[in-house]
Structure 1
Amino acid sequence: MDYAKEALRLHKEWQGKLETVAKMKIETRDDLSLAYTPGVAAPCLEIEKDKSQSYVYTGRGHTIAVISDGSAVLGLGNIGPEAGMPVMEGKCVLFKALGGLDAVPLCLNTQNTDELVNIIAALEPSFGGINLEDIAAPRCFEIEKRLQERMNIPVFHDDQHGTAIVVCSALVNALRLVKKENPTIVINGAGSAGCAIARLILDLELGNVILVDRQGILVEGMNLTSGQEALLSRLNKEHKKGDLSEALKGADVFIGVSAGHIVSKEMIASMNEKAIVLPMANPIPEIEPDDAKAAGAYIVGTGRSDHPNQINNVLAFPGIFKGALDAQATQINDAMKKAAVYAIASMVDEKELRPEHIIVSALDKRVVPVVAKAVKQAAIDSGVIRKWDKE
């Protein structure tokens, strides 16, 4: 199928992938009086007395805002809020289809950090959670941090944490299969996703991390972002210097969140035996899976659906938000992210585990309930549950 051609035809036909569907019919005067005035005053007054009742009398408790400024849309770059809307609509469709959650796409016509923070924070009464999407680094780090400090509902930048969670789930299973401990893990691409992956790998103690960008292996003295600076002391315990080819010599794992076709067969061949290679640049991976295999990679996973081991954020965000909302969590913290990692990894048992199957399918209906249950329990255990009587 020519996906681009067919997508254009269908998007034109649909004129948007979402519609508003009312839960009640307006056919009689009584219907009108119950849905609107005068009946609607009753729930309004209940919520005025106790704000927690907004989760009882409105759709807030199962509704997510999917918000972007259009500055880093897919691999297309800063294409603007209008052009980013099809992606945000698509994300909302996935929330509904996979997680049973309602979601509203909001593309904002500003790329000013202060304006974005103020606008998004003011939306809190209408939503149960905020999914930040396709906001460029390094602004995305500051925006998420400031919103988490100001808002009393979960704020989650999926490009960072969703990616990191699914990558780590795949890595947990891959390392289980190759039976490697304390591996050397090279991440190419040190933007929002790369930094989040590195941080979560280190927090989970899965291995030693070398982070690489266009400047080469990140070391002291480089022009680094705040997110990179925060990680620097935890990186590169082998004190390597140089470019990506130097980083990959003797490495056990390659994770790519950068650009297509920048890794050669020679680079993969220089890695240790039973190398794990996860080139996830979309739509063109850092190295083609067949080339990576030919060069000696034992396990290969990409972001694409037409190859084995698709590493896709859709495995994470529906279940994470469902679990957070079910718990009435005020945030999505590290404990909840770690719980999601191991919940997703658990979906592939020992009998199923093989080089071509280290991660569960994104369309497996079991995933969301399993992830949601684990995330909800982690929220409860870590004490980030809403306490309305103390507000």
Structure 2
Amino acid sequence: MDLNEKAVLKHKEWQGKIEVISRTPVTNKEELSLAYTPGVAAPCLEIEKDPELSYELTRRGNLVAVITDGTAVLGLGDIGPLAAMPVMEGKCCLFKEFAGVDAIPLCVNSKSVEEIVRTIELIGLSFGGINLEDISAPRCFEIERQLKEKLNIPVFHDDQHGTAIVVGAALINSSRLTGKPLEEMTVVVNGAGAAGIAIAKFLMLLKVGNIIMCDKDGILYRGAPYMNEAQEKMAQITNRDNKTGLLADAMEGADVFVGVSRPGLLTAEMIQSMNEKPIVFAMANPVPEIMPDEAKAAGAYIVGTGRSDFPNQINNVLAFPGIFKGALQARATDITDEMKLSAAYGIASIIPQEELAPEYILPDPFHKQVAANVAKAVADAVK
């Protein structure tokens, strides 16, 4: 039985990966009166007088909604909201298991930006935070932007920012290991969708020297005829020398490759054209842009992928549970750039300088300190 067959069998056995558990006993009349009528009226009236008490008198202060429209699910694409449910349930499991945060999966049967935003706006009071998940670009940018304006709770599109934060942490430790300052690095980001654009923006916050973005038609440069609106905006603030051409051209003299694209796009020759001690983060899933053994054979010094069966897994689970835990603890109304930067440095700092190695630039997701470190870093950054 292969992994896929076993996963289907286990999902049938589980019949869902989450359940609702009562936090209070209801075994007699007094307990019933306290948990429900008539006693429940008292906290209701307290919240009516002071809505902030909803964080203390209900589970709202530890509750996140994991919301999708099913248009960009893992590597599966637009499979629809119902088919996305196993992924959303899985995400809720990770919230609970890694950070003790309760999460509810919500699959919205619409591709309309306006309908999705309005739906989330209407239910927002039930939650302490909103985790947007697996929503296709460029719609995801507008959905997140509008929700940040309308809601006074954190809204976080994990496919964008979670990925970017963990890439940032990996690059921070790669810089520490190689001795190359971030400010002097040239990073090629291959794949200019939601994740790629978010990664590039985050690397700019980290003060990376030069970022060159590529998509299927080639390098994003000012005036390129094949770019969408979001890519045009990125071309204005990246690619310092307005370099043109294809991925191979972008890779010449680069220090870092970050792939959020498709399998097999990066070649040994491209790695050999890079600067000394090349860093390769080939994150296409399940098959990366180049397999780690091929990248190493071509001269890559550090290799990371999105897979758990290779060293240096660049996995969002290092980021989002702790980010929300910290944001909820601090009662943040937004997740700011400062909080994201703090999260990246919080992840990176778990590995002491003397333990850093080409095969160990990121902590294991099961490292007990990860969520706590990230939560504290994020909470400390809340203004």
TM-score of the two chains, using structure 2 as the length reference: 0.97
- What's 1:370 paired with? 373
- Give SS of 2:281's match: strand
Instruction: Work out whether 1:88 is the aligned partner of 2:91.
Output: no
Structure 1 residue 227: Cα displacement: 2.7
Instruction: Work out whether 1:290 is the aligned partner of 2:293.
Output: yes
Map Cα deviations across residues 309-344 of structure 1 (whole Å, 9 max, x no partner): 111000000110011000000000001001011111
Q: Measure the CA separation in 1 of the matches of 2:241 and 2:185.
A: 12
- Give SS of 1:356's match: coil
- What's 2:329 paired with? 326
- Give SS of 2:305's match: coil
Query: How do 1:174-189 and structure 2 match up within 5 A?
Result: 174-181=174-181, 182-189=184-191
- What's 1:232 paired with? 235
CA contact (8 A) 2:282 2:304 kept: yes
- Percent of aligned pairs sharing the same letter: 59
- Give SS of 1:105's match: strand
- Give SS of 1:123's match: helix
- What's 1:220 paired with? 222
Structure 1 residue 149: Cα displacement: 0.4
Which of 188, 193, 196 in structure 2 is aligned with 1:191?
193
Could you list the structure 1 runs, at least 4 aligned residues long, displaced by more than 6 angstroms after superposition: none
The amino acid of 1:114's aligned partner reads: E
Structure 1 residue 121: Cα displacement: 0.9
- What's 1:169 paired with? 169
Structure 1 residue 225: Cα displacement: 3.1
The amino acid of 1:17's aligned partner reads: K
Q: Measure the CA separation in 2 of the matches of 1:122 and 1:228.
A: 31
Which of 267, 271, 274 in structure 2 is aligned with 1:271?
274
CA contact (8 A) 2:186 2:208 kept: no
Structure 1 residue 184: Cα displacement: 1.1
Q: Measure the CA separation in 1 of the matches of 2:379 and 2:280.
A: 32
Structure 1 residue 18: Cα displacement: 0.6
Q: Measure the CA separation in 2 of the matches of 1:267 and 1:45.
A: 65
The amino acid of 2:192's aligned partner reads: A
- What's 1:30 paired with? 30
Map Cα deviations across residues 58-117 of structure 1 (whole Å, 9 max, x no partner): 000000000000000001000000000000000000000001000000001001000000
TM-score of the two chains, using structure 1 as the length reference: 0.96
Instruction: Work out whether 1:208 is the aligned partner of 2:185.
Output: no
The amino acid of 2:305's aligned partner reads: T
Instruction: Work out whether 1:63 is the aligned partner of 2:63.
Output: yes
Q: Measure the CA separation in 1 of the matches of 2:141 and 2:109.
A: 19
The amino acid of 1:35's aligned partner reads: A
Q: Measure the CA separation in 1 of the matches of 2:248 and 2:283.
A: 18
- What's 1:130 paired with? 130
Structure 1 residue 31: Cα displacement: 2.1
Q: Measure the CA separation in 2 of the matches of 1:74 and 1:207.
A: 30
Map Cα deviations across residues 234-283 of structure 1 (whole Å, 9 max, x no partner): 21113221111111111110000001111111111111110000000010
Structure 1 residue 34: Cα displacement: 1.6
Query: How do 1:300-315 and structure 2 match up within 5 A?
Result: 300-315=303-318
CA contact (8 A) 1:166 1:341 kept: yes
Q: Measure the CA separation in 2 of the matches of 1:56 and 1:237.
A: 49
The amino acid of 2:295's aligned partner reads: A
CA contact (8 A) 1:64 1:104 kept: yes
Q: Measure the CA separation in 1 of the matches of 2:276 and 2:17.
A: 46
Structure 1 residue 365: Cα displacement: 0.9
- What's 1:146 paired with? 146
Structure 1 residue 25: Cα displacement: 2.4
Structure 1 residue 180: Cα displacement: 1.5
- What's 1:106 paired with? 106
- What's 1:73 paired with? 73
Instruction: Count the aligned residue pairs.
Output: 380
The amino acid of 1:136's aligned partner reads: S
Structure 1 residue 10: Cα displacement: 0.5
Structure 1 residue 123: Cα displacement: 1.2
CA contact (8 A) 2:222 2:236 kept: no
- Give SS of 1:83's match: coil
CA contact (8 A) 1:172 1:206 kept: no
Q: Measure the CA separation in 1 of the matches of 2:376 and 2:255.
A: 33
The amino acid of 2:194's aligned partner reads: S
The amino acid of 1:196's aligned partner reads: A
CA contact (8 A) 1:64 1:131 kept: yes
- Give SS of 2:82's match: helix
CA contact (8 A) 2:323 2:374 kept: yes
CA contact (8 A) 2:54 2:60 kept: yes
Structure 1 residue 219: Cα displacement: 1.4
Instruction: Work out whether 1:5 is the aligned partner of 2:19.
Output: no
Q: Measure the CA separation in 2 of the matches of 1:267 and 1:126.
A: 50
Map Cα deviations across residues 114-153 of structure 1 (whole Å, 9 max, x no partner): 0000000111110000000000000000000000000000
